């Protein structure tokens, strides 16, 4: 299938799962705009764009903190201008933050950071794109296995991702007829990213044992695994799927 002629926005697309989504959408022909937050991510963003261009892909990177109230408009306007269009066909709300701590150690600052990034930014990024979303468009939200698994020390993170799944179902109903879009979510399990590998030897050793139990294959997920699932939801052949949460975790957790 092809996404040729489609314009996509991926929040948090410079690294990790986001970069896998950007690559997969671009591979299918979509023009992709993605944001990154800090100057330290500029090198990764530029390298990703260069890599896509080698395969004749079109992409732009926009420095914008998704929790900044002005960020959605900045990202959307940059995409419209760069690709000389007045429509966005695909929005992927991927940007997110994580934090593990016992309930006794949750602070107002840690709570606010996660909720601002994982929930508030998703709400207002989606709201901002509605005036320019194309009929037949796609809104795809990134949740997490943590929304349902009940992992210890993830009170706030799990709540934030459960909120994303709730928003997905509401928007599928609320926005479907009015804007002609589908709205779905993808909830990855563990994925091999820089953040995953930086968690330390103890974590990696524990996950190596857990990965042996994964039904779909005795391994951790990859950014390509997630990118391909997101791209499928963006395609025309996924037109009859909306309000769903796709378990993208190799069978660690079933719907």
Q: What is the DSSP letter of 10?
A: E
Please list, in sequence order, all residues whose beta carbon lies within 8 angstroms of the beta carbon of residue 173, skipping any fewer than 6 positions away: 243
Helix 16-27 × helix 223-234 angle, to 10°: 50
CB 161 within 8 A of CB 188: no
Q: Does the annotation mark 231 as catalytic? A: no
Q: Which position among 143, 146, 160, 231 bears the catalytic label?
A: 143
d(CA 91, CA 130) in angstroms, rounded, equals 10
CB 9 within 8 A of CB 214: no
Q: Does the annotation mark 144 as catalytic? A: yes
CB 93 within 8 A of CB 122: yes
Please list, in sequence order, all residues whose beta carbon lies within 8 angstroms of the beta carbon of residue 117, skipping any fewer than 6 positions away: 66, 67, 95, 96, 97, 160
Q: Does the annotation mark 143 as catalytic? A: yes
Q: Does the annotation mark 24 as catalytic? A: no
Q: What is the DSSP letter of 228?
A: H
Q: Which position among 41, 160, 161, 231 bears the catalytic label?
A: 161
Nearest partner of 33 among 45, 43, 17, 47, judged by Cα: 45
Is 142 buried (19+), middle (13-18) or exposed (0-12) by CB count in 10 A?
buried
CB 4 within 8 A of CB 27: no
Q: Which position among 24, 144, 160, 231 bears the catalytic label?
A: 144
Q: Which position among 157, 160, 179, 231 bears the catalytic label?
A: 157
Residues marked active site are found at: 143-144, 157, 161
């Amino acid at each position: 299938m092809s996404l040729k002629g489609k314009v996509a926005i991926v929040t948090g697309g410079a690294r990790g799962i986001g970069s896998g989504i950007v690559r997969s959408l671009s591979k299918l022909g979509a023009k992709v705009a993605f944001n990154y937050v800090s100057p330290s991510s500029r090198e990764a963003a530029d390298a990703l764009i260069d890599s896509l261009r080698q395969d004749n892909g079109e992409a732009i990177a926009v420095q914008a903190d998704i929790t900044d109230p002005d960020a959605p408009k900045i990202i959307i306007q940059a995409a419209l201008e760069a690709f000389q269009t007045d429509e966005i066909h695909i929005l992927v709300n991927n940007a997110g933050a994580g934090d593990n701590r016992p309930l006794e150690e949750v602070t107002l600052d840690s709570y606010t950071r996660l909720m601002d990034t994982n929930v508030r930014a998703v709400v207002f990024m989606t709201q901002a794109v509605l005036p320019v979303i194309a009929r037949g468009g796609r809104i795809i939200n990134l949740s997490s296995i943590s929304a349902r698994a009940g992992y210890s020390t993830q009170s706030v993170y799990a709540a934030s991702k459960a909120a994303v799944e709730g928003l997905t179902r509401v928007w599928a109903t609320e926005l479907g007829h009015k804007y002609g879009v589908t709205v779905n979510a993808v909830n990855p399990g563990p994925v091999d990213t820089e953040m995953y590998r930086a968690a330390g030897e103890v974590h990696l050793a524990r996950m190596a044992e857990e990965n042996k139990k994964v039904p779909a294959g005795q391994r951790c997920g990859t950014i390509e695994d997630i990118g391909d699932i997101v791209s499928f939801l963006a395609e025309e052949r996924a037109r009859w799927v909306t309000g769903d949460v796709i378990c993208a975790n190799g069978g660690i957790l079933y719907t």
